[in-house]
Amino acid sequence: MRNRISAFINLPIASIDRLALKAKLQAIGAVEYANVNIPMAALIWLMIIPMLVRIDFASLGKVGAYWRGIGVTLFVNWAVKPFSMALLGWLFIGYLFRPWLPADQIDSYIAGLII
């Protein structure tokens, strides 16, 4: 009997708490600046900062010794990747998934894949 009374008391309290939490989360999610969600931007920076902290700035002077690796990386990132993503976007979004996507947004989807 005690468990049933506990449930009858706790369920309404949990429901009210849930509604209050939903309102708080919606208020946090509405915080924007220049169409950028500020809490999301902060969380993304929290993911990026540990990678930035591990950079050894003293060894940046030695980067020129590894010019081949840097050249290959730049070539792949700036010459190969955009065209391969354009090809994949054109193939998958332009043909395979076209029936399930809104016709006026297909070009935007392909542009998003390229970027």
The per-residue pLDDT for range 1-28, each reduced to its tens digit, is 566 667 778 888 888 888 888 888 888 8
Reduced 3-state DSSP string for the chain: CHHHHHHHHHHHHHHHHHHHHHHHHHHHHCCEECCEEHHHHHHHHHHHHHHHHCCCHHHHHHHHHHHHHHHHHHHHHHHHHHHHHHHHHHHHHHHHCHHHCCHHHHHHHHHHHHC
Residue 6, CA atoms < 13 Å, CB-side half-sphere: 3
Domain-wise residue ranges, the chain: 1-55, 60-115
The proportion of the chain whose per-residue pLDDT surpasses 70, expressed as a percent, equals: 96
The per-residue pLDDT for range 56-110, each reduced to its tens digit, is 888 888 888 989 999 999 999 999 999 999 999 999 998 999 999 999 999 998 8
pTM above threshold 0.75: no
